[in-house]
Structure 1
Amino acid sequence: MLDELLAAWITRQRWFGGKGRPIDSLSIESDVVLEAGDPSLRHLVVSVRQDGSHERYQLPLGLRRELPDTLTHAYIGPYQAEDGEWAAYDAVHDHELTGWMLRSMADGADRAGLRFRHLPDVAIDTTQRSLVLGAEQSNTSLVFGEEYICKLFRRLVPGVNPELEITTALAARHAPHIAQPYGWIETDLDGVPTTLAIMQEYLSNSTDGWDLALTSVRDLYNSLPGLPAADAGGDFAAEACRLGAATARVHHELREAFDTDVMDPPEVKRMVEDFRRQLGQAVAEVPELRQYVPAVERAYHRAEELTAELPVQRVHGDFHLGQVMRTTTDWVVLDFEGEPGQPLAERRALSSPLRDVAGMLRSFDYASRHLLAGHAEAARLEPKAEEWTKRNRAAFLEGYAEGGGVITPADAALLRAFELSKAVYEVMYEARNRPAWISIPLAAFR
């Protein structure tokens, strides 16, 4: 039975969210034949129940009489059909089959509840050959030639994905600093249009912001003792400034494209109370944090004392150096999905743009101290890490102001509260997943 075969296979996949827990049941909700023959292609929506929870996953299923060596890593198992035995495998790795995405989007096809769409005035080149990018935690990305990158959402949440919603709205405004969206795939789950995949411009000649920042940090650590960060090779400050300006422009475009609102002071106080509850949980899990509680409480108190309304809008929601790419001309912001694991309504909720600013400021701290975890000369290099962080934080904020972003004295108090809340979350995350890195977020409180 196919469901039994998938139940044994799915728990070993990186994108499966229920690792470590037994599967109570697995059923196939949807099974659409997209390509017949040998090889054949079927699109499955799989329902998994564990400990009372219910999750859906997307699987393009390939079937071949004989599986070539190049696809053995994608093998699921033997599938017994009426006409004999087939090899079942994850078809995203088969470039002979993945062309269905391009062809169907180009045609605007409808196939048994699956809807393939492309943006107006977009011509899709259906001759491009696919390659799966390195393993991701929750999605699978396929690069088609040098033109497109298609993100296939493995765990399905009913509703339109924020990344599709935001990038198509900004593209309609000809907004800079985004990767051009080209098309998407959708279906209905629980009666709600639900995004299955989104295809965008592939930024082939670009570099990840995290990698650029780490290169700068390495150059500084390898420089002569006493050499200022400004004089070390690979200084990142100019790029941090440009990134700040790009962030401000993206926030402006989001305000223009979507509704905005304000949080009144009582709502701000409720938000800060949520920060406090999180702090209490973190102290219970990480006692080292207790000594910093008075300082954090003072920062939170300053934020909740503010009497002005707080403007809120659509934001990125999970903004850090790994979510931006430096192209040959400027910075591009990616992955507008919001914070992984959060409910869709929360990821689409309006928030202060200071939340994104705080996320990037924390990312600079991570970039400077990431290489110190377990480093034999961490104590000697700590002042350099502090200098690099301060220099690039200041440059980013300067660029944000130059790009039209506004941070008033009142905003500064809120920004500090957002930063500390983010650092509290990081302390809990590192304590649970990477204890050797816990010194990185703890440094934020010193």
Structure 2
Amino acid sequence: MLTTQSLHLSTTWLNAGSDDQFWTTLAQTLLPPYVNTCRWFAGKARQQTGFSVRTVHTVPLADGDVAYLLILETTYADGIPESYLLPLSFLADHSAHTLQFQVADVPDKGCIGDVVSGKQTGLLIDAIYDERFRQALFSAICQSQTLPQTDGILTFHRGKGLDEGDNQLSSQVLPVDSSNSAMTFGDKYFLKLYRKLFHETNPEVDMVAFLTDESNFAHIPAFGGSIVWQGDQRPDITLGMVQRMVPNDKDSWMQTGDYLNDFLYGVPQRMFAIREDVFDKVELLGQRTGEMHCALYKPARPGVSVDAAFTPEPFTNDYRDFMIRRLEDLLERRYALLIDNYTKLDLQAQRLAWVFMEAKEMIETFIADFRTRPLDSLRIRIHGDYHLGQVLATESDFVIIDFEGEPESSIAERKIKHSPLKDVAGMIRSYHYAVSAKLFNSAETDDLDPDHLQRVSDRWFYLIRDTFVDAYLDVFGAPHPLFKNNSEINFLLLIYLLEKAVYELGYEISYRPSWVKIPLKGIIDVVREIEKIRLSDGDTVSDVPMLQTGLLQTKRS
């Protein structure tokens, strides 16, 4: 869709890269209203003070034309500026027929505005909707090209997941709007162009490249390549990544929901039944999770070069301090939220909340123990946001996806090494959510006593949890450097389960009060296990009270 006003470029589009005045004018006129309509732009709700084009990269196209990769900076009244990647292409009006044909392939959301370049008129578009640009990126990755720029170098890395002879494939832009842009090539490869940029390499690309190229881990969409902007005075910045496409039926959250439908059918009739193939699937996922962590465990060996970003590390004081600060901050804010919202909770959630608040001293003692307890287990890079929705179910196996890490964490925090048990805790919590959400939010169980539903939910969850964890640990054998012994495994798993459940609690209080009982029950389960550790350590003489389980007692249905 053409705009009513045209922006004039004094030079030809081919030479526009060096026309600073054009980019300045573009950033002040056409780009602000356009960018604010884009799904990938995260600054819509903030008070913007301006846009500026910080860097212009040139990408040659096969027909002799060029596209440009803009690094666009947005400043705000409050907070630090943000950088975004905006690729631009110019569809020149050589003939009405040609322009009409090309514009027909560009959706409205890809049209930026009319431009007069030299003596040519045409349409400025987001270059992802230009087949020539998509092909240029993919070919450059296939050929491992480097493109020198006025500011650094664009480096195109080819990964093991790219087959020979696949450098000329038809492509299309996926219609799904998200925080990044996605393109497919030959229905075989998936190229993700990162829009919001961070001044260091993307953790997802680091992880997928390492698992594919260094460890040959087969249960992820294989790494096909990446686009990196390298500079002399700053860390490398990742602009895009190619992976193999994976045929799948659904993610594991949906698959687990299907299994729970069968389970749910028997609950009103007081029948407890789990199909055998459910346990088979859970065991397989536990196995694949363990294999992923084994692939990420790459200790340094004489004569073998290992990327320092992936070498195992011990539990240092700095790491313990980081985790303790995070836990204490989460707990302080969650206690305040619970107090403010206590009267809005249902009776079952109120009982759980009361036990949680009464256990405050015990939790604080447990966290203090984490600061000083000797730990010989090791930390590695992990998935970091691991749950059932991050696992695709194929016909007979699983594929693990989305290695970007926790969305609300900084890029530096996403690269921190943890015990792999943090991923295990994430999956355990996901299974707990799956069964709780199904049983407590289904018409079939509306008339059942909540305490009875809680007991049924617990039985399903504990069986599935133990099946997953046992299959996971069987992958490593004993002893293994990642886990010194069962005592450390139990202790560390509780740390990460507590962190995850307390984090979840904040979201549920704020957005889904009827679900607050789910993370609260997870916290109480952890506190029960903390109490067992206290008893086994002989810590029963201190002034810290034991868990007030009597507050949870109700009549049995």
Report the TM-score, using the length of structure 1 for normalisation: 0.88
Matches within 5 A, 1:68-147: 68-82=103-117, 83=119, 85-95=121-131, 97-111=133-147, 112=149, 113-119=153-159, 123=164, 125-133=166-174, 135=176, 137-147=178-188
Q: Is residue 213 from structure 1 mapped to residue 256 from structure 2 by the alignment? A: yes
Distance 1:410 1:106, change over 3 A: closer
Unaligned runs of 5+ in 2: 1-24, 92-98, 300-309, 343-352, 478-482, 525-557
Q: Is residue 389 from structure 1 mapped to residue 440 from structure 2 by the alignment? A: no
The 8 Å contact of residues 229 and 388 in structure 1, kept in 2 or not, is answered as: no
Distance 1:8 1:379, change over 3 A: farther
2-side partners of 1:292 and 1:77: how far apart? 54
- Report Cα offsets for 1:256-281 as digits up to 9, x if no partner: 16311211579536633531221111
The 8 Å contact of residues 38 and 109 in structure 2, kept in 1 or not, is answered as: no
Aligned residue for 1:27?
A: 52
Matches within 5 A, 1:250-269: 250-256=292-298, 258-264=310-316, 268=320
Superposition deviation, residue 183 in structure 1: 0.9
Aligned residue for 1:428?
A: 506
2-side partners of 1:428 and 1:311: how far apart? 30
The 8 Å contact of residues 78 and 88 in structure 1, kept in 2 or not, is answered as: yes
Unaligned runs of 5+ in 1: none
The 8 Å contact of residues 263 and 274 in structure 2, kept in 1 or not, is answered as: no
Distance 1:378 1:427, change over 3 A: farther
Distance 1:23 1:32, change over 3 A: same
Aligned residue for 2:69?
A: 43
What amino acid is aligned across from residue 394 of structure 1 in structure 2? D
- Report Cα offsets for 1:385-430 as digits up to 9, x if no partner: 4343223212111111221175613321331221121111112233
Q: Is residue 416 from structure 1 mapped to residue 442 from structure 2 by the alignment? A: no
What amino acid is aligned across from residue 117 of structure 1 in structure 2? H
Among residues 331, 338, 342, which one is paired with 2:398 in the alignment?
A: 331
Q: Is residue 361 from structure 1 mapped to residue 428 from structure 2 by the alignment? A: yes
Among residues 329, 335, 342, which one is paired with 1:277 in the alignment?
A: 329
Among residues 230, 233, 255, which one is paired with 2:274 in the alignment?
A: 230
Superposition deviation, residue 9 in structure 1: 2.4
SS in 2 for 1:46: strand
SS in 2 for 1:197: strand
1-side partners of 2:171 and 2:179: how far apart? 19
2-side partners of 1:389 and 1:254: how far apart? 28
What amino acid is aligned across from residue 126 of structure 1 in structure 2? N
Aligned residue for 1:243?
A: 285
Aligned residue for 1:349?
A: 416
Q: Give the RMSD, CA atoms, in angstroms.
A: 3.1
User: Could you tell me the percent identity over the aligned residues?
Assistant: 27
2-side partners of 1:421 and 1:379: how far apart? 33
- Report Cα offsets for 1:216-242 as digits up to 9, x if no partner: 2233223463232414xx953321211
1-side partners of 2:515 and 2:88: how far apart? 39
2-side partners of 1:38 and 1:334: how far apart? 37
What amino acid is aligned across from residue 368 of structure 1 in structure 2? V
1-side partners of 2:209 and 2:128: how far apart? 25
Aligned residue for 2:82?
A: 55
Larger radius of gyration: 2
SS in 2 for 1:98: helix
Among residues 197, 218, 224, which one is paired with 1:156 in the alignment?
A: 197
The 8 Å contact of residues 215 and 296 in structure 2, kept in 1 or not, is answered as: no
The 8 Å contact of residues 313 and 351 in structure 1, kept in 2 or not, is answered as: yes
The 8 Å contact of residues 45 and 59 in structure 1, kept in 2 or not, is answered as: yes
Distance 1:193 1:398, change over 3 A: same
Distance 1:383 1:96, change over 3 A: farther
Among residues 518, 534, 538, which one is paired with 1:440 in the alignment?
A: 518
Q: Is residue 192 from structure 1 mapped to residue 235 from structure 2 by the alignment? A: yes
- Report Cα offsets for 1:50-85 as digits up to 9, x if no partner: 124111111222433446455324234323233455
Distance 1:140 1:286, change over 3 A: farther
Distance 1:182 1:264, change over 3 A: closer
The 8 Å contact of residues 75 and 87 in structure 1, kept in 2 or not, is answered as: no
Deviates more, 1:165-174 or 1:286-295: 286-295
Aligned residue for 2:220?
A: 178
Distance 1:269 1:49, change over 3 A: closer
The 8 Å contact of residues 226 and 242 in structure 2, kept in 1 or not, is answered as: yes
The 8 Å contact of residues 303 and 414 in structure 1, kept in 2 or not, is answered as: no
2-side partners of 1:62 and 1:394: how far apart? 54
- Report Cα offsets for 1:344-369 as digits up to 9, x if no partner: 22111111111111111111122223
Report the TM-score, using the length of structure 2 for normalisation: 0.71
The 8 Å contact of residues 5 and 76 in structure 1, kept in 2 or not, is answered as: no
Structure number with higher strand proportion: 1
- Report Cα offsets for 1:21-74 as digits up to 9, x if no partner: 121111112233435679974322211111241111112224334464553242
Q: Is residue 18 from structure 1 mapped to residue 67 from structure 2 by the alignment? A: no
The 8 Å contact of residues 146 and 202 in structure 1, kept in 2 or not, is answered as: yes
1-side partners of 2:81 and 2:428: how far apart? 36
2-side partners of 1:438 and 1:136: how far apart? 31
2-side partners of 1:123 and 1:70: how far apart? 29
Superposition deviation, residue 291 in structure 1: 4.8
The 8 Å contact of residues 502 and 523 in structure 2, kept in 1 or not, is answered as: no
The 8 Å contact of residues 74 and 81 in structure 2, kept in 1 or not, is answered as: yes
Distance 1:442 1:40, change over 3 A: farther
The 8 Å contact of residues 140 and 154 in structure 1, kept in 2 or not, is answered as: yes
The 8 Å contact of residues 16 and 155 in structure 1, kept in 2 or not, is answered as: yes
